[in-house]
Each structure stands twice: as structure tokens, then as C-alpha cells.
Amino acid sequence: MTKEGTAISTHAPRGVGHLRGDQPFPAAAKVALADPQLRRNLQHATTTIRGKSGRVIAELPDWQELRSAGSALKAYTMANLPGLLEQLEEKVTAAGGVVHWAADAFEANRIVTDLVRQTGERRVIKVKSMATQEIGLNEALEADGITPVETDLAELIVQLGHDKPSHILVPAIHRNRSEIREIFLREMPGADPALTDEPSELAGAARRYLRETFLSTKVAVSGANFGIAETGTLAVVESEGNGRMCLTLPDTLITVMGIEKVVPAWQDLEVFLQLLPRASTGERMNPYTSMWTGVTPGDGPQNFHLVLLDNGRTAVLADEVGRQALHCIRCSACLNVCPVYERTGGHAYGSVYPGPIGAVLSPQLTGVEDNASLPYASSLCGACFDACPVKIDIPSILVHLRNEAPHPRSERAAMAAAAYTMDHPKLYERAQRAARLAKLLGKRGRGLPPPLNGWASSRDLPEPPAESFRDWWRGR
């Protein structure tokens, strides 16, 4: 999407950011499944979040109506995206901010590093942001000699542990308290050697470490949960207060926002601020909801820059089925109910966006061929659709992307033969009779010869009936 609103369907470039894994999902999942501690951590965390979320959602008699409203608002936004983005730019500029348009991760990273360099500062504080992780901003800043400091507790744990986030909402969900204590003792300057793994002590250690950084750093980088086209207002919701510190104390604030995060009007937040906390953290409202409009003289950052990021989103928007993925409000509800995610964790997906939403969003941002295994990282049970607060039909998008993914020649030949057989009744009837010989292939097809045995290794071949419908009908 260009500044003029022209749609240019290009995918996120290779060689930058965190949208592509080093290995396909099946290989990465196999490694994760062999880690019993990881599975215990994930099972405990997702079960706890599911329980909290379910209880507060049950309090709202109009939850389904709220979901429908959120879905309708997102559909309207995607249908009118160019105009809304231009309106947002106009309002932010009128309020004293500066808007930059970034076609991809390379351009976004260059814009942000140039802006930081112009301030003369060599350190920035960061609010938790999926968009900056997506583009690999930390790596770009470090390559330019600028130190990024994550201030969200979970992001700080990931950063100090030289790790990668594994959950949209709880990036360090794969770590338990003992592991976090070891990371702090090893990597956090000034950590008390007597530090225990009590949550309050761990939080206190992080607070002491970050306090000086908050007070002495002049530049902050944030993401945005929502950008309101009507007023030019940006919104960040969080649970710890670190975001409020980053958004108010520094002299310069740089916000990187995916173009799909725009919402038409201020009143639309009435819907999203009810849906998001209940579906994500299991809270009735976000503990900290920070909003700002441009620059206010004498109050807060005196220099505000908004970077509008495409990085493949226009290509997603061009797909009539797949564009639903852009409705995502990053609540992570689909991760918390997904049986696949609960067993493999987020690292197996290879992208900063894990779980069901990552399985439909990442392949579209990169081009399906670069993440061809992710649409298969699902049992298609539909739990994600039921949990999504804006009713994204993730199972349907998964099936759609499976059809778009490149398939081996042997599989294409087999499917073509099956289609031809089903299109010719007499040939299909003979195939039915021949299917009775399938019992010779072993239980559930386990005796199929290579390469067909690969298909049966993860699927059960149904037992053929003793009598086909055609035979039954002839007999009567």
C-alpha cells in the first residue's frame, strides 16, 4: 500500500525479520515434542489462561453480539483501508506528528534507525510490539550501534535469555520460574545472588533493573493496538505499566503500526476494548490503556513519528478468503485453545506469529511457498474459530492455503487420477470393488508401499465396507 493508497501486492522480503523458520513445521515440532519440560510449561500456562478467559466471557450475555460487531468493523476497515489510512495520516500530521510509509521490513528498519540516529541517542526503550519483532528491528538497531531495551517483563526475559518469543501475548510462556531466575542471575546487571524464583521477587528484580533505564532514555519505540482514523489517536493496551512509562517519559516516540490496525472511529474502541482483554488475558478491562494524539506541548514526547508498515499486508488483502487474517487483534485466544500449539509451542512455527493465526497469517505475508508446511499445522478441529473474538474463520483459511501450497508431483498425479476416476461412474465402481483388497495393505493402510506409506504415517486409511452402496442398491 503506497501513500497514495495504491495497492501493490508484494510479499515480505526474505533475509530480514522473523516470519520464516529454519526448518519446516513437522521437523521443528518433532524437536519440541521431545522436550517434556516445555510441554509441562505450555500445558500449565494455556490451561490457566483458558480458565480465566472463559469465566469473564461468561459474564457477558451479549458476547456473541460483540464478536459479530468486531467482525463487521474489521470487514468494513479492510474494504475502506486506503481512505482510512489517508485520514489517519491527515489527523496525525495536524496534531504535530510525522507519518512515514514503509513498504517492507527493510524500509521500516531504515526509517526507525535514521530517526534514532538523528536524535544522537544510542539507546531506546521498547514497548512490546509484534510488528517490530516481525521486521527484526532490534537486530537492525544493534547493527547500527543502538541498544534496544525491552521493557515488557516477558520480552525482557526473552531478550536477556538470547531467546525468541513463543506466544503472542506471553512471549516467555515456554519458560518456568526456575529458568527465569537462572536467566536473571546470569544476564541481568546487578541481580541479587540471593534472588529466588518467587514471582514477586523476579518482578522486583526486573523493576529495579528497568527503573534507571526509563528515567535516562530519551527515545522510545512502540507498536500500536489501534490507530483511530477519525482523530489520529494511537492506543496501546498492556498489563504492567511499562508501556505507560515508555509512552510518556521520553522526548521522542516512534510507533511502528501495521496498516491493518487502523479503526474508523473513536466509538469503535467500545467494541474492541471489551473483546480484547477478555479473550487475551482473561480480564474485564486492560490495566493500562494509553492513548495519545500527536504532540502536546509540555506534556509527553515532543517528537512523534508514526511508521505505517505494509510488509506483505497488501498481498494478504488481495486474497478474498485469506484477508480475514488481517482482522486479528493479537489476543492469542486461538493459541490458548489449539491442541497443536499446546504440544509444540511457538518456536516450531518458525515465525513471530505462532499458533493458528500464525499458520494463516505468516504464509500469506511471505508467500505460501516460503511457509508451505504451516497450513498443515492444524487438526482443523475448529476450536480457534470458536475462540476468536472477531470471528476469523481460521479453519477455512487453512484449507484455502493448503490448496495454494505447492504439492509434490506424485501427490498431484494421485489427486488427478482420483478426480478422473470419480468423474467416470463405471471406472469408479470398479475402483470400489478393488478397494476391498485394501485389507491386504494392513490395518489403517500401514502396509502401503513407499511413497504412499508416508501419507498413511499421519492419516488413517478407512476400512472399506463389506458391501458398497451400489451393491446394496442392486440387491434391493
Residue 321 lies in a domain: no
Query: Per-residue DSSP letters for 119-153?
Result: HT-SEEEE---HHHHHTTHHHHHHHTT-EEEE-SH
Q: Residue 407's pLDDT is what?
A: 80
| Contact predicate 355/334, CB 8 Å | yes
Specify if 89 maps to a domain.
yes
pTM score of the predicted model: 0.89
Question: By C-alpha distance, which of 117, 372, 380, 129 is closest to 246?
Answer: 129
Q: Where a domain ends, among 268, 288, 314?
A: 314
pLDDT at site 417? 86
Q: State the CATH number of the domain containing residue 101.
A: 3.40.50.10420
Instruction: Report strand pairing: 303-309 vs 98-102.
Output: parallel
Q: Quote the domain boundaries for residue 186.
A: 25-314
> Is 274 in the same domain as 417?
no
Q: Bridge partners of 222?
A: 255
Indicate whether 324 belongs to any domain: no
Residue 292: left (phi > 0), alpha (psi -120 to 50), or beta? beta
Whether 413 and 271 share a structural domain? no
Q: 314, 343, 367 — which closes off a domain? A: 314
pLDDT single digits (tens) 26-56: 999 999 999 999 999 999 999 999 999 999 9
- H-assigned helices in 329-382: 333-337, 339-344, 355-366
Q: Is the dihedral of CA 79, 82, 86, 88 positive or negative?
A: positive
What are the beta bridge partners of residue 220?
Answer: 125, 253
β pairing state of 147-150 and 123-126: parallel
Residue 81 is assigned to a structural domain of this protein: yes
Q: Are residues 308 and 414 in the same domain?
A: no
What tens-digit pLDDT sequence spans the chain (476 residues)? 656 554 455 999 999 999 999 999 999 999 999 999 999 999 999 999 999 999 999 999 999 999 999 999 999 999 999 999 999 999 999 999 999 999 999 999 999 999 999 999 999 999 999 999 999 999 999 999 999 999 999 999 999 999 999 888 888 889 999 999 999 999 998 899 999 999 999 999 999 999 989 999 999 999 999 999 999 999 999 999 999 999 999 999 999 999 999 999 999 999 999 999 999 999 999 999 999 999 999 999 999 999 999 999 999 999 999 999 999 999 999 999 999 999 999 999 999 999 999 999 999 999 999 999 999 999 999 999 999 999 999 999 999 999 998 887 877 788 888 899 889 988 888 877 776 665 555 555 555 666 666 666 666 767 777 788 888 888 88
pLDDT at 445: 55
User: Contact 273/69 with Cβ under 8 angstroms?
Assistant: no
For residue 71, the SS3 value is: helix
Residue 414 lies in a domain: yes
Last residue of a domain, one of 269, 297, 314: 314
Residue 362 lies in a domain: no
What pLDDT digit, counting tens, does each position of 63-116 carry?
999 999 999 999 999 999 999 999 999 999 999 999 999 999 999 999 999 999
**16 belongs to a structural domain:** no
Number of structural domains found in the chain = 2
383's CB contacts (< 8 A; 6+ apart) are 334, 337, 338, 339
Residue 368 lies in a domain: no
Dihedral sign, Cα of residue 435, residue 436, residue 437, residue 440: positive
Cβ contact 379:339 at 8 Å? yes
